[in-house]
Amino acid sequence: MTESNGAVVRTRGLTKSYGTKRGIVDVDLEVHAGEIFGYLGPNGSGKSTTIRLLLDLIRPTAGTAEVLGHDAHDAPLDLKRQIGFLPGEMALYERMTGRDMLRYFAYLRGMSDLGDADTLAERLEADLSRPIRSLSRGNKQKVGIVQALMHRPALAILDEPSTGLDPLVQQEFYRILREVRADGRTVFLSSHVLAEVEHTADRVAILRQGHPVVISGLAELKAQALRKIELYFSAPVSPQEFSRLPSVRGVRAENSMLELVIEGMVDDIIKVASRYRVENVISREQDLEEVFLTYYHDGTDEAATPPTRVAAGVAGEGV
């Protein structure tokens, strides 16, 4: 099915300029057959631009993009039978029912039936019988996922797929992605939230201002990532005691609360904290901003520019 040592997606120096803003610069990616590849970056970092280049919806300023062994622009039309796509700014045919839209796409893809659509819809609890305009954001997203996967594509390109899905459905969706991988098929998954890919992705690329700053296995990435915990004490506690600890990178005190930026295990922190009366511990999911924290601190450029903080409480969710 694919040539050239199993690279399902390969970009070389892929660049797209839009005047001064956005776009991507010199992106080199290699996505292997049978993996789930996480493509991470904050909003506006160029994820959707890359994806739209892969699908030949836009054309590169420089560089090349190959999908399933063919140049994205010159690929034979039939190649798209093997690709599934969920757009980030997803818009569906609002006046059709989900099932009618799936039937339409099935015809265009030359399918004799709806493929896996019914199984997928059942698992995601997608309602295919109602007009799409009457569905909530999350329920539209489910229909979008079904159309992207119903024809068992060799490569599924999913842009922010779990936007609006409730947690249980999200878990089922991740299971589906793992089954796709087990089937030897490939998933290219973009997200601005690390949590979205950490349960599934084998490797990730992190995009910053249109350029990947790191491409690595997810496990390594998480080990390096900084994250935050908040400790609520009955009475104010001296921050110095914590800032000395090897895993602590930063401390901020506010009344009787300490916010710690940490790397690695929390064991020593818990041991110190246990000497006091602890009312609450809040450890948030690492979100991308926090992963970026790592690369901004280690990076040479713009070290003085901290990433914009996501307000506590909404971190880890799609914004």
List of residues contacting other proteins (CB under 8 A): 48, 52, 55, 57-59, 77-81, 83-85, 87, 89-96, 100, 103-105, 107-110, 147
The token duo for 287 is 């979100």
- Supply the minimum distance, in Å, between the C-beta of residue 8 and other proteins: 16
CA distances, 79 to each of 73, 88, 92, 111, 114 (Å): 11, 21, 22, 14, 19
Evaluated on CA atoms 78, 83, 87, 92, the torsion sign reads positive
Contact call for residues 213 and 207 (beta carbons, < 8 A):
yes
Assess contact for 19 and 68: CB atoms under 8 A.
no
Please give the Cα distance from 167 to 97 (Å, whole number). Answer: 25
- Cα Dmax for the chain: 69
Pair of tokens at residue 162: 């779990």
Residues found in the chain:
319
Q: Least distance in Å: CB of 180 to other proteins?
A: 17
> Which residue, 3 or 94, is less far from other proteins as judged by CB?
94
